[in-house]
Amino acid sequence: MKYAVILPDGASDEALPELGGRTPLEAAHIPNMDAIAREGRLGRAVTIPSGYTAGTDVGTLTLMGYNPDQYYSGRAPLEAASKGLSVRADQLIFRCNFVTIADGRMADFTAGHIPQADAFRLVAALNDALKDEGCEFHPGVSYRNLMLLSEAADLKLTCAPPHDIPDQLVADHMPKGAGNERVLHIMQRAAAVIAAHPVQAERAASGHAPPTHIWLWGQGRPTHLETLADRFGLSGACITAVDIIRGLATLMGMKLIHVPGATGYIDTNYDAKGAAAAQAVEEHDFVVVHVEAADEAGHLGNAKEKVKALERIDEAVVAPVLAALRKHKDWRILVAADHPTPCSTKAHSSVPPLFAYAGSDVPAGQLGPFTEKAAEAGVLMDPGYPLMSVFLGR
């Protein structure tokens, strides 16, 4: 049996006036995803259990079949796994965004999608300036970086994801809890380092949102997952441009496939991702393709860009993967959103997103197309983590 999982990050949404009262999925021309919904099973899954912050970390962990109550320890530890970072017992791992704060508000949680080279320069400067604070910075992709903090394993903090507070006053969302004074001090010192660094002036002069601060969140300790081979006896491969999914795939024992031009943004190389995924189907039992673009369009509040992203995912990723699968006698495909990212709020939502799966041995459920409204007539999986076992038929 061949299995493929397509993860259009943040695909679910709400009805939008600018789309004539339709959701982006309803407005998009996505014949391949619609066919999966009509020819197989369509429904919704509770990917963000009560008490968890809506995000790709919890949502994708759930979709991959892991109970967050048992396996989730924070977003940053999952990203650290993608880097193979060695973490001491006294260290806490933080996600570290470069952000733009203007007039006390979160103006841009990506610092204008800061180029990789500039991010490298800032990470190096922060390591030089803040090593006396017990900080150890590690570059990720663009604005998405990591910080290890020593003598911090016992910190008990609540930190807000910066992408969930667009245009809001940051003073209302600063880290809270035991140890927050230390973390706030580090963020303040980092802001001074960034203000004095040439990257800030260069970015501002070029008309881009300049990095002004770091934002620390997603903290936790390393986590351990049962591998795909141990759980289901399958070999797997993963295609993604973001560290959170790379880390999850690494912990699952999957091969990471690098795709040139995959950016984790709306300008990603859809065609190369689809071609690589189709090839991976021939070489592995289980293939995961994650595409960030719809989520990023939601964060931008750009409904038309989200429709475009969904259409590109359908034609450039889903279509070639389906064609590759259909060359085999036994196959299944799952398309699932990890969480909604409504364009109206520009933030993640915990509303159960839709999924659809089909295959050579999956009877049609007489539902479809691949839209939120149609999915409401299907099953609601609560909790959502058993969906993977259902999809695999295990």
User: Residue 223: pLDDT above 90?
Assistant: no
Mean pLDDT of the chain: 96
pLDDT of 218 > 90? The answer is: yes
Q: Which pLDDT score is estimated for 202?
A: 97
Give the mean model confidence (pLDDT) for residues 336-344. Answer: 98
Instruction: Please report, for residues 97, 140, 253, 267, 268, the alpha-carbon distance to residue 116 in angstroms, rounded to integers and kept in the order given.
Output: 13, 8, 27, 15, 15
Give the pLDDT mean for 323-350: 97
Whether the per-residue pLDDT at 394 is higher than 90: the answer is no
Question: Which of 12, 51, 61, 99 has the alpha carbon at shortest distance from 339?
Answer: 12
Domains of the chain, first to last: 2-71+224-392 (3.40.720.10), 83-220 (3.30.70)
Residue 319 pLDDT more than 90?
A: yes
Answer whether residue 324 shows pLDDT above 90.
yes
Q: Residue 186: which pLDDT band, with cuts at 50, 70 and 90?
A: very high
Contact assessment for residue 19 and residue 301, using Cβ atoms and an 8 Å cutoff: no
What pLDDT does residue 366 have?
79
Confidence of residue 96 (pLDDT cuts 50, 70, 90): very high
Proportion of the chain above pLDDT 90, given as a percent: 96
Measured distance CA(253)–CA(256) in Å, rounded: 9
pLDDT digits (tens, 9 = 90+) for 14-56: 999 999 999 999 999 999 999 999 999 999 999 999 999 999 9
Strand-pair category, 236-239 with 331-336: unpaired
Question: DSSP letters of 227-287?
Answer: -HHHHHS--EEEE-SSHHHHHHHHHTTPEE---TT--SSTT--HHHHHHHHHHHHHH-SEE
For residue 179, pLDDT over 90 is answered with yes
For the segment 365-385, what is each residue's pLDDT rounded down to a tens digit? 878 899 999 999 999 999 999
Q: For residue 154, what pLDDT band results from cuts at 50, 70 and 90?
A: confident
Closest CA to 287 of 315, 325, 260: 325
Q: DSSP alpha helices (H): ranges in the chain? A: 24-27, 31-39, 56-63, 68-71, 75-83, 116-130, 180-195, 198-205, 228-232, 243-251, 270-283, 293-300, 303-313, 319-325, 372-375, 387-392
User: In this predicted structure, what is the pLDDT of residue 358?
Assistant: 97
pLDDT band at 153 (very low <50, low <70, confident <90, very high): confident
Sign of the torsion formed by the C-alpha atoms of 54, 57, 58 and 60: positive
Q: Minimal CA–CA distance to 222: which of 84, 98, 385?
A: 84
Nearest to 147 by CA among 97, 73, 104: 97
Backbone angles phi, psi at 8, to 5 degrees: -80, 95
Upstream peptide bond of 383 is cis (omega within 30 degrees of 0):
yes
Closest CA to 96 of 56, 53, 127, 70: 127
